[in-house]
Amino acid sequence: MIRSTLAAFTFFLAITTAGTAQVATLPDPQRPILKPEAIITGEIVRIGDLIDHAGIAGSVPIFRAPDLGDTGTVSADMVFEAVRKHGLVGVDAGNVREVVVTRASRTIPAKEIEDAIAKTLSARYDLGSSNDIVVNFTRDMRSIHVEPSAKGDPRVANIDYDLRSGRFDATIEIPAGGGKRSAVQLSGRATATVEVVTAARAIERGVVLKDADLIMERRARAEVGRDFIATAAQAVGFAPRAGLQPGRPIRPAELMKPDLVQRNETVTLVYEVPGVVLTLRGKAADSGAEGDVINVLNEQSKRTLQGVIIGPGRVAINASARLASNNTTGSIVNANTR
């Protein structure tokens, strides 16, 4: 009995001791605690930015903050050394070995600055739509970080532009904190461009163009001029008069309606007068597209006539032409019942 009581007491003592040890390891809610990360606004890192429950020491500056938008780290040992000088000791680091510090910022993308320059050039130098102006900077242009409180958009304070070379030098005002602005000097080239249709591959004469044969590319307007095909719809269904090379802008004069009749092809000759349509078989002496005038041979009379191509393999003969000899036969259709 004594032995059982002693064992029970020993077990209770072990539980009590363990519980006491567990309570002892709980952090004091008012004890200074090192943060694992911090977001800073402004140029100075203060004790309170890195340590919770820092008390009156929280407003004391100890480090310089990273640049706007940048992130850095500071070791726990460096933090302890810095705060010890200001009487703050017993900081609980927990498992934190270093603190990640980020400088808060508002980001102004490079595209916003490009757009501001393009809009200014479009308005002042008649370069067409600002969406068609390509801006390239002399040096690599990255996003600009400003204070989170900075309001407004970047604007062009001054710009000089050479129409021949496309070079520009500009002063850009960037919003800063407190309603102020800072000036940035930028230079580069700005080019007015247009979208043109080019061949996706080498295409032979007479091949009827399809969407898959064409590519839209953006080219400098000064290089292309004004005589060019601007949309694929303007080229689809037409055929090149000569071979097309890939990558070269296609011009209207280079295209024609596709040949509906080939040279030496057997065709139907159509002779029409009011009320009557006569069709005969003939042979084309020339190739041509719809609307072209070509020479055709009436195979029955062996006479060469001129006609207008009106469809695939069909040529209309002028009503005033002598279509055939007296013994010519063909198909006669009443025009009113066709």
233 burial via Cβ count (<10 Å: 0-12, 13-18, 19+):
exposed
Domain regions of the chain by residue span: 33-103, 108-192, 194-258, 260-337
Q: How far is CA 292 from CA 94, 269, 299, 317, in A?
A: 91, 14, 21, 12
User: How confident is the model over 203-256, as pLDDT tens digits?
Assistant: 998 889 999 999 999 999 888 888 899 999 999 999 998 889 998 999 999 998
DSSP character at residue 39: E
Q: Assign 273 a pLDDT band (cuts: 50, 70, 90).
A: confident
Distance CA 212, CA 164 (A): 36
Which fold would CATH assign to domain 194-258? Type Iii Antifreeze Protein Isoform Hplc 12 (3.90.1210)
Mean pLDDT score, 125-131: 90
Asked whether the predicted pLDDT for residue 5 surpasses 70, the reply is no
User: How confident is the model over 72-111, as pLDDT tens digits?
Assistant: 999 999 999 999 999 898 999 999 999 999 999 999 999 9
Q: What's CA 59's distance to the chain center, in Å?
A: 47
Nearest to 103 by CA among 152, 64, 157, 47: 64
Q: Whole-model pTM?
A: 0.62
Q: Give the per-residue pLDDT at 320.
A: 64
CATH class for the region spanning 260-337: mainly beta
